Amino acid sequence: MPSLLEDIPDGAPCFLDATIFYYHLVNTPPMSDGCSDLLARVEAGAVNGLTSTVALAEATHKVMLAEIVRLHSFTPQGLITRIKKHPELLDNLTEHKQVAALAESLRLFVEPFTFDLLKRGADISTQQRLLTNDALIVAAMEKLGLSYLATNDDDFDSIPGLIICKPTRT
């Protein structure tokens, strides 16, 4: 059973999934509070935050889509198709740039995306029934020797060896 983000012990190294950055930057009560509090603990040095280029790219993508939804009062359904038909929707977006700036300001260790991670992630994907980006996170955590995963993604709940910590949802 997953723990809460606030249960991550001080001093613990913890992988930060895309959802942590997303909920910090896109106000989604009550989940945003827990994610922002965790990032404050990382900034203070209480939690040793690590992430990957894959997680940061996914967070950047999600924040970009959220900005388009907010600016144009769109529903998320069919949004990618709409953007492909109207690429001008991407003009003047800025909020997605905050993801990289946040990771940089927190001085997070960022595991780069490599060919070896891609190969290991492909194996994990079929073994653990995970989609590619989630499997790449597990591969990065395995490489870094991490157990704690801060996420709001239920797909990680059944992965052995991980200690899943999530924001409060209610």
Q: What is the pLDDT of residues 19-77, one digit of tens each?
A: 999 999 999 999 999 999 999 999 999 999 999 999 999 999 999 999 999 999 999 99
- What does the pLDDT look like over 95-127, one tens digit per residue? 999 999 999 999 899 999 999 999 999 999 999
On whether the 3-61+104-157 domain is CATH 3.30.360.10, my answer is: no
Q: H or E stretch including 99?
A: helix 97-105
Q: What is the pLDDT of residue 23?
A: 97
pLDDT at 98: 97
Provide the whole-model pTM.
0.94
Q: What is the pLDDT of residue 166?
A: 97
2 pLDDT more than 80: no
Instruction: Return the sign of the alpha-carbon dihedral for residues 154, 32, 66, 53.
Output: negative
pLDDT at position 170 is: 77
Among candidate residues 51, 59, 49, 21, the one with its CA nearest the CA of residue 137: 51
Q: Is the pLDDT of residue 1 over 70?
A: no
Tell the burial category of 33 from Cβ atoms under 10 Å away from its Cβ (0-12, 13-18, 19+).
Answer: middle
Band of residue 155 on the pLDDT scale cut at 50, 70, 90:
very high
Q: Which residue ranges make up each domain of the chain? A: 3-61+104-157
